[in-house]
Each structure stands twice: as structure tokens, then as C-alpha cells.
Structure 1
């Protein structure tokens, strides 16, 4: 399989896992902040905190999907199975949708469910998706190094 086809397959699998985690986060966020399926939302004035809580649940789902489905051929190089790097990257990437949500709410004054979801779960997640894919592939699920003899035979 060519390098580009492998990369395209990884991107597609990453997208599938990200969609599963995103839908869980989306439903949970809208339950917490906007009362989806509830009589009253428990966090109506705490959209940023609600987003962090919902996406932390999604982060756990995405780690397991990434390690077992997206990058099973790229074992994590860290002793903790990549958890610490994965969490650090997710928290760093979460700044993108949180920033979009904060601008929408606090700069533009938009606080409807539609505005929150377009800002945080639309624009912000697209930006975070690209950042996370690159960073996970580069720092958490790296390609295993070839033994020295294999690299010499490839070079020679």
C-alpha cells in the first residue's frame, strides 16, 4: 500500500473515531448547558465548563478508538501507553473550540444552542481535528523505528 493510501486510511479511521467521540460530547454538552432530554439544564450559565466536562468524556472514547482502531500498527512510545501525551495534546487542542465558544458567547454575545454548537462543535472542532490528528500521529502513535539492519538494507 502506498504511503498516501495509508495516510488516507488513517485519516478516515481517525475521522470515524472522532465522530463517535464528538457525538457523545455533543449530546452531553447540550444536556448540561441547554437541557437536551432534560427538564432543566444543570449548567445553563457555564458553557465553557460544560464543554470541558463533555469533551473530557469524549477524550476517553477517542483514546481507546485511536489506539485500537486508528493506530494499532503504531504502538505508543511512552511508558504510560501514551495517556499523558494524549491528554496534553487534547487539552492543548481543546483551546481551539473553547476559544471559538468564548468569542461567540463573550465577544459576540451569542448564547443560543445553535450559536454554541456552531462555534464550539462546528468551527472549533474542525480546527482541533486537524491539530489532534497531526500531533497524535507525531508524538503519541509514532511509527516504530526500524532496526539498524533494516534501515541499512533499505538505504543500500
Structure 2
């Protein structure tokens, strides 16, 4: 039994049926949660150390690294039965769309910092960090996630049965 099946077995009906029906979305969300921790861990590490005066640059770097991890996990797990493109074309589209996601992700923290002036010395350090987290790690990431899921299914992995699932495949 796979990890996903083990978790789903613990979920009560009718929610289990909904999650099974939307298994691809569930997997995409799990990958997103994993890359959320990678992104935020790197972002705060960078912006609180070597890039303390460049928080948007730190966020861009952390999002790019998380995006590379996301490609591998989404291709090999979330969308593993999808495809329809040559691998180099698929990867190019994935990273192009992810670049759009990076831009979408950076808009809320940019607005927070430089339009709303939610940064030191205009606000306390704790308020700046809270505003950065909410704008970059909640709002920005959610907007980018919705865009990416739609765009990946539409353009990167358009054919739902391009790579048939093997009976021995684990979820």
C-alpha cells in the first residue's frame, strides 16, 4: 500500500471519495506543501543572513530552487501518468510557466514592502516579517499555485494517459 493510499484509508467518507476522485490535485498539493517548506526555509535563511537588504532577491532565489524540486516531484509523482510532449519541451514549458508563477508570487511581497511600506524603519521588525510571510508565503504562493496547477495540466502535461500507470507503481 502506498503512502497516499495509507493516508486516504484514514480519511472518513464522503471526503475520501472526493480526494480519490481528485488524487492528482491532492498529490499536487502535497508537492506544493513540500516546496512551501523548501521555499520558506531558504527565503528566511537568505533574507535574515546574506541577503538581509534584498528580501525580494532572496525570495526569487528560494522560489527558483523550490521550482526545480517541484518539477521533479510533479513529473515523477503528481502528473506521472500525464505527458504528451518530449521531455525537453515539457521541461521548458514547466519552467516557463513556473517563471510566470514566480512573478505572480513576487507581486504581493513587493506590494507589501514597497507600496504599503511594511518594512523597517516604517514598521517594527516583527510586523515586517509577518507582512513578508503573509504576502509572500501565503497570498503569493496561493495565487501562483492556482495558476501553475491550471497551466501545468493545460500545457505541460496535457495528455492524461501519456505514460500509463503500471500495476506495480506506488502512489
Normalized against structure 1, the TM-score is what?
0.81
- Residue 24 of structure 1 corresponds to 38
d(CA) in 1 for partners of 2:39, 2:75: 19
Q: 5+ residue gaps in structure 1?
A: 35-40, 147-156
Aligned equivalent of 2:136, options 96, 120, 126: 120
Q: How does 1:1-80 map to 2 (within 5 A)?
A: 8-34=22-48, 41-80=49-88
In the alignment, is the contact (CA less than 8 A) between 1:43 and 1:50 conserved in 2?
Answer: yes
- Residue 151 of structure 2 corresponds to 135
Q: CA deviation at 1:11?
A: 0.7
Deviations 1:105-147 (A, max 9, x none): 001111322111100111111111100000001110111589x
Aligned equivalent of 2:101, options 93, 112, 116: 93
d(CA) in 1 for partners of 2:100, 2:21: 23
d(CA) in 1 for partners of 2:19, 2:46: 40
Deviations 1:51-88 (A, max 9, x none): 11001110011001100111111125134051110111
Show structure 1 runs of 4+ deviating over 2 A.
Answer: 4-7
Q: CA deviation at 1:96?
A: 1.6
Q: 5+ residue gaps in structure 2?
A: 1-17, 120-127, 163-171
d(CA) in 2 for partners of 1:139, 1:91: 14
- Residue 8 of structure 2 corresponds to none
Q: CA RMSD in A?
A: 1.9
Shift in alpha-carbon separation, 1:6–1:143, aligned structure 2, 3 A: farther
Aligned residues: 137
